[in-house]
Every structure is written in structure tokens, then in C-alpha cells.
Structure 1
Amino acid sequence: MRQKIMDNLFKKIAELKEKNEEAYLSIVTKTKGITSCREGAKMLIFPDGKTIGTIGGGEVEFEIIKFVKERKIEKPQTYTFNLTGKSIKNTNSEAIDINSICGGIVEVFVEPLNTKENLYIIGGGHCAVQLSEIASKCGFFVTVVDNRKEWATREKHPYAQRIIISDFEKITETIELKQSDYVVIMTPKHNFDKEVLKQLVNLDLKYLGMMGSLHKVKEIFKQLKNEGIGEEKLKKVYAPIGFPIESKTPEEIAVSITAQLIAVKNNIKEIEFSSNPLLK
């Protein structure tokens, strides 16, 4: 039974890695005295508190799950749980006292998995080929979405982590977006930019950008406002996309966009970083 649980845990970790979905791996690294925890025990914890596996149950497991749900654990961390009722010294980890009849000490290592930012590139053309490479090398988990089979390929986008073939009119049915996600709209010949933006503009995203000239952006914004999209929503769109560095080639455009993505990731939100005409 224990081996089956471990097999399920590692299988789930592989699935989560493929999708870049958040989870936390906890491992009991040391025990001393009487405790229900076993050294080497592993448990996978999801942000909502659900788990696969166990590190022994009891108060230690309860506290670890609580930490994951309530804290933003951004890097590997070791926690020392003191169940003895006495103070402990010389620990290089965060020490937590727990009232318990067990009387032992437990060290648990917690590692966040899949911490890359998700970047969805809607449209897989020449600029997207360069963007998928540069953004991936800069630490983004890149998904390319296109309705053309000849462009939605591993050959065209060898650096993308995922490639999806989808109708642009059904983007929200194809991908499930979260508040922490980044989306770049660059559909072929801009034919579907408006349709994609209309689907996404009301979502709460970390970054939503659309490629195109200032004239094109103004026209699309005008059409969307006439269709009932509020101006405050449109003000949040990075359009024209990227930093204004007079970029011309697909490579230069990809650099300008990636730089803007990194600025947003690092919480640099000055108004000059967006060319949105509604902010002028």
C-alpha cells in the first residue's frame, strides 16, 4: 500500500511538472524521540490543502498543510517541530513548538514545485517563434496556442513547454487561466486579436498584452467599448505591446515584449512601461 501511494505521488509530480501547476513536496528529514513521523516519509500538498501521501498524521502534518495554505513559501524551507515541551537550541531551521504528548522532535523539508510564471502566446507566427524561445530562456513556462497545425508544432517552437491547437474564438474553453498568468495576443495577420481580447479582457490576469500598431489598438479598443467593454478594463491591457524601443524584426519585438514581461513579474509598474493609448 505504501509503495502504491508513493507511485501515485511521483506520477502526480510528473503530471504537475508537465502543466506547471503549483504544489509543495514535504519530506521528513530527521526525527528524535517519540513521534508518529517516519524519516523519509513524503507528502505532496496542493494550495487548497489537499494531499497525496502522508508524513505521519497528527499535529506536525496539520501544521505543514496549514503553512502551505496560509504562507507564500517561495523557496525550499526546513521546519523543526518541537513536541517535547522544552526549548530547543542550535537549529538552522524555523522552530515551531507544538503541545503534544509524543515528546519528540521532527524536521520537515518543504520544497515548492513548479514556480515558473505561465506565459500563453496566442498565435504561433514568426514573432511568437522568437518570443517562445527568449521568454522560455528567461524562466517563463511557455504555452503556444494557434489554430494552424503547421505553426503549432514542436519544430516551430522547440523551446515552448506546451503547444495547443485551438480555435481562437474558443480560447477560454481551451485553456484555464489563473490570476498569476501572462497572456500575449499576436494572432496571424491580427485577424483574431479582437476576438481573443474580448474573451480575456474581463479576466483578472497578471499580464495581458496585444501586439499591433497604435492605430490598430485604438480601433479595436473603440469597437470593444461600443460592444460594452469598460474603459477601465481596457486600460489594463499592454497595447501596443512591449517596450517602445523601435523594434522591427521578430527578434527585436520578442526582446521588447520579454523585457516588459520581466518588468511586470518584478512588480515594476510605472506608466511608461505601457503604450496603451488610454493611459496617455
Structure 2
Amino acid sequence: MEFWQQLHTKLQNKQRVYLLTVIENLGSSPGRKGFKMLITKNGFIFGSVGGGVMEFTLVEEAKQLLQQENPPTFIKKQIHKGNIKDGSGMICSGEQTVAFHYLDSNDISIVEHIISCLQHGKKGTLHLSPTQFDFTSLILENQFEYKINSLEDWYFNEHIGFKETLYIVGGGHVGVAVSELFVKLGFYVVVFDNRENLNTLENNRTAHQKLVINYNDIENYVETSSSSYVAIMTNKYTDDKLVLSKLIKNNYKFLGVLGSKAKLKTMWEVLLNEGVTQEKLNKVHAPIGLSIKSETPEEIAVSIAAQIIQVKNQDKK
């Protein structure tokens, strides 16, 4: 969000800007797909495409090009193997290709569309090509799609917005700590509670949404999706059980419950007697979080984050 807000401010101030984007990386390149940097003629920079002498050289090139009346849009390949053709000056091995897009006040509406998307938890696609800097509501299946046929024939599409949503059921102290950590991890965070005027919920400044609801209606608020993660941590056993019984029949990427082993053992026995299958219960992460002997809300949040990241990335090679 901050990156696009910085770009918006510069364009509103009628500054000419180069947007640098890593559109391909191979090997041990320091810049990864999607890394971005803003550069203005007066030397303002924000973001990074990998750092080091390579980045310094690209920044200087962009500043020089911004002196021109019509700066070009192009891609530049960087090979990190020392002093060779297309070499970046770095010796870390690997390669990366960086797209240079010249932007000015004519592009403000596109940047505003991106910012609005992020502010409202929506999703879309950034399109880059030799002739295009655009943003649409198209949803990509993957984070990136790109193809480089030549210096003049290439495209790069990037998913913009929150790929994953974490639903926290329970707005207490642990919910606050979990919210803070998962916002930093790039999740869209929604917190629910059934208590009016709950101090910890009202003072939660990081969650993207905070809702006071009837837990009987929880299904209406949680999207059944492979990008949905649910952490149940209400203030009492009966509410934990109620929420779990409502959600357990649906498919989410992650469903977990906070609580002691004794409490959860009792809950499992009751749910089995009520007709919930053992197969369904086996898919619930309970007690939620990796076992690291966490005690404080912040430590519990770390254990939950570690487990959810493990689940999120389990299919990655």
C-alpha cells in the first residue's frame, strides 16, 4: 500500500517517475519477481529491485533518462557474474530482468484504482508491457504471469491485492497480537466478536475489518475458499464449540482452534456425539499453533503464524 501511495503523491505533485519492476529472476538473483522501485529526476527513491551496485547503476540510469522529454519504456537484463556483457557488477550469480516504466500525471487514475483495491480488500491484476501500464479487475490464478520473447515483445502480469484472508474469531488480546503479525505478513485480516463495546476489539488498529456479530451467523461472514484461513479464539468454550460446529463442514485452507488439550478433548467428544465425523475433526489444527511453549499473546501469535505459513507454503517446491 505504502509503495503505491508514495507513487500517487509524486504523480500528484507533477513529478516524472520511473517505476522499476523485476519481471524475471533466475538463480540467486537478489531481486525477485515483483520487486519494485520508484525513482524521480531529483533523486528520490523508494523500494528496491535487489540492492547493491546493480541497483545503484539502474537508479543512475533512470535519473539520466528522466532528463529527456520522452523517457522510454524498456526492459534491461542483469547477469550477476561480475564484469561481463549485461553484467550487474555483482558476483552472487543468477540473473534478473528489470522493466523501466515512465509514469507521469496521466497515470494517476490507474494508481488510484490500485490503492482503492488494496484499501477495500479487493483483488486485481497489474499489466506491464512495452506499451502498457494498466490495472484491471481480472484475477490471476498465480501471483505472476509473464513472457519475454525479445526486448520489444514481452509482458508481465502481477496479482495485486490480498491473496489470503485470515478470519480471527475472538477479539481479545491474542486476537490483537495475531492481527498485528498477520497484517505484516500480507494477509487481509478480519476480526469477529459477539461482545459490544469490547475494549480490545475497538482498540485493534491493524485489522482491516472488525465486526460484532452473532456467532450463529458466522458462516455468512467467512468465505469458503482455498485462500481463507480461520483462527478460532473466543473467550469461552461454548462459543468456540458453536463456531467450530458451524464452520467445520466447509473447506478452508486452514481451520484452527486455540485452547488447552483438555478443553479440546472434551469438545471433540461432544462434537463426535453430535455427528461430526472424525475425518472432519482430523483436519482441524487444535491446539492451534506450533508447539513452542508460547505463553504471551505475542508468542502465541508467532506460533500460529508459523503453523499457517507452513500450511500456506506446503505445496511450494
Equivalent in the alignment of 1:160: 207
* C-alpha distance in structure 1 between counterparts of 2:126 and 2:198, whole Å: 36
Equivalent in the alignment of 2:29: none
In the TM superposition, what is the alpha-carbon distance from 1:184 to its structure 2 partner? 0.2
In the TM superposition, what is the alpha-carbon distance from 1:182 to its structure 2 partner? 0.6
Equivalent in the alignment of 1:148: 195
Change (3 A) 1:46 1:151: farther
Structure 2 contact 113–135 (Cα < 8 Å) conserved: no
The 10-residue stretch of structure 1 (260-269 or 130-139) with the greater mean CA deviation from structure 2: 260-269
Q: In structure 1, the residue corresponding to 2:314 is in which secondary structure?
A: coil
Structure 2 contact 291–303 (Cα < 8 Å) conserved: yes
* 1:18 matches 2:18: no
Structure 1 contact 152–164 (Cα < 8 Å) conserved: no
Which letter does structure 1 place at the counterpart of 2:121? N
Structure 1 length-normalised TM: 0.65
Equivalent in the alignment of 1:33: none
Residue segments in structure 2 that go unaligned for 5+ positions in a row = 1-106
* 1:218 matches 2:265: yes
* 1:189 matches 2:236: yes
In the TM superposition, what is the alpha-carbon distance from 1:130 to its structure 2 partner? 1.0
The 10-residue stretch of structure 1 (108-117 or 162-171) with the greater mean CA deviation from structure 2: 108-117
Structure 1 contact 166–174 (Cα < 8 Å) conserved: no
Equivalent in the alignment of 2:142: 73
Higher share of residues assigned strand: 2
Q: In structure 2, the residue corresponding to 1:188 is in which secondary structure?
A: coil
CA deviation profile, 1:3-22 (whole Å, cap 9, x unmatched): xxx99977765554234343
Counting matched residue pairs gives 210
In the TM superposition, what is the alpha-carbon distance from 1:111 to its structure 2 partner? 2.1
Structure 1 contact 29–109 (Cα < 8 Å) conserved: no
Change (3 A) 1:113 1:148: same
Equivalent in the alignment of 2:136: 44
Q: 2:173 aligns with which of 126, 129, 145?
A: 126
Change (3 A) 1:240 1:27: same
Q: 1:209 aligns with which of 256, 260, 267?
A: 256
Q: 2:291 aligns with which of 244, 256, 261?
A: 244
Change (3 A) 1:115 1:129: closer
Structure 1 contact 207–264 (Cα < 8 Å) conserved: yes
Within 5 A, what are the aligned runs for 1:47-58? Answer: 47=139
Structure 1 contact 152–163 (Cα < 8 Å) conserved: no
Structure 2 contact 171–193 (Cα < 8 Å) conserved: yes
* C-alpha distance in structure 2 between counterparts of 1:119 and 1:206, whole Å: 10
Task: Determine which structure has greater relative contact order: mean sequence separation of CA pairs < 8 Å that are 6+ residues apart, divided by chain length.
Answer: 1
Which letter does structure 2 place at the counterpart of 1:20? G
* C-alpha distance in structure 2 between counterparts of 1:44 and 1:214, whole Å: 47
Which letter does structure 1 place at the counterpart of 2:279? E
Q: In structure 1, the residue corresponding to 2:125 is in which secondary structure?
A: strand
In the TM superposition, what is the alpha-carbon distance from 1:25 to its structure 2 partner? 2.9
Change (3 A) 1:214 1:46: same
Change (3 A) 1:240 1:200: same
Structure 2 length-normalised TM: 0.58
Q: In structure 2, the residue corresponding to 1:157 is in which secondary structure?
A: coil
Structure 2 contact 123–162 (Cα < 8 Å) conserved: yes
Structure 1 contact 242–257 (Cα < 8 Å) conserved: yes
Q: In structure 1, the residue corresponding to 2:130 is in which secondary structure?
A: strand
Change (3 A) 1:147 1:237: same
In the TM superposition, what is the alpha-carbon distance from 1:215 to its structure 2 partner? 1.2
Equivalent in the alignment of 2:159: 112
Structure 1 contact 27–109 (Cα < 8 Å) conserved: yes
Which letter does structure 1 place at the counterpart of 2:196? K
* C-alpha distance in structure 1 between counterparts of 2:289 and 2:244, whole Å: 16
Report the identity percentage. Answer: 38
Q: In structure 2, the residue corresponding to 1:220 is in which secondary structure?
A: helix
Structure 1 contact 146–165 (Cα < 8 Å) conserved: yes
Structure 2 contact 124–159 (Cα < 8 Å) conserved: yes
Structure 2 contact 225–252 (Cα < 8 Å) conserved: yes
